[in-house]
Structure 1
Amino acid sequence: MQLNYVAVVVMASVITVLYVHATIWRLATSGARRAVAHGVLLFTGLLFGAVSANVFGAALPPWLALAGGTDVVHLPAACVLFIRHLSESGES
C-alpha cells in the first residue's frame, strides 16, 4: 500500500514540473525571461528538495523527499500559470 503513495507523489511531482516548464516555454515573451524562470525554479526546487531530504532523511527515502520538495516549489507556479491560462482563454 505504501508503494501506491510513493507512486502518487512521484507522478504528481513529475506532472507539475513538466506542466510548469512547458507553460513557461509557451508564455514567456523573451528567451532571457524563459532562461531565468527555468533556472530559478529548477535551482530553488532542487535546493528545497535537498534540504527536505536532509531533514526527512530518516523517515523518507532521500529521492522521495527531493521529489516532494521540488513539487512544493513548482506547485504555486503551476497554479499561477493555470490561472493565467484561464484568463487569457476567456474562461474566467
Structure 2
Amino acid sequence: MEPTIPAEVAAHVLFHYGRDGGYQAGSFTEQIIKAIDMADPGNRFKLTNSYPDYVAAVVAIKYDPAGVTRLQQIAAGQVAA
C-alpha cells in the first residue's frame, strides 16, 4: 500500500525540485528530502521506515511522468493522495 502524501509534504518536495506550487521546508526537512533524493534504492528503502510520505513524494516526482502534476494537485488541495 502506497503511503498518503500530505499537502505539506508535496509542497516541500515540489520546492526542492524547483517546481511551481511548493514552498520551502525547514532546514532539517530539507536535509531529509536531499538524502532521499541522493539515496540509492537500498538506502531509500531504509528511509521509507521513518519518512514514508517524503519517500513516496520524491519517488513520484523523480520516476512518475505525472508525478509533478500529481504533487501540485495534492499541494493545492485539489486531490488527496
Please classify the TM superposition score into its range, dividing by the shorter chain length.
0.3 to 0.5
TM-score normalized by the length of structure 1: 0.30
The structure showing larger relative contact order (alpha-carbon pairs under 8 Å, at least 6 residues apart) is 2
TM-score normalized by the length of structure 2: 0.32
Bigger proportion of residues as helix? 1
Higher Rg? 1
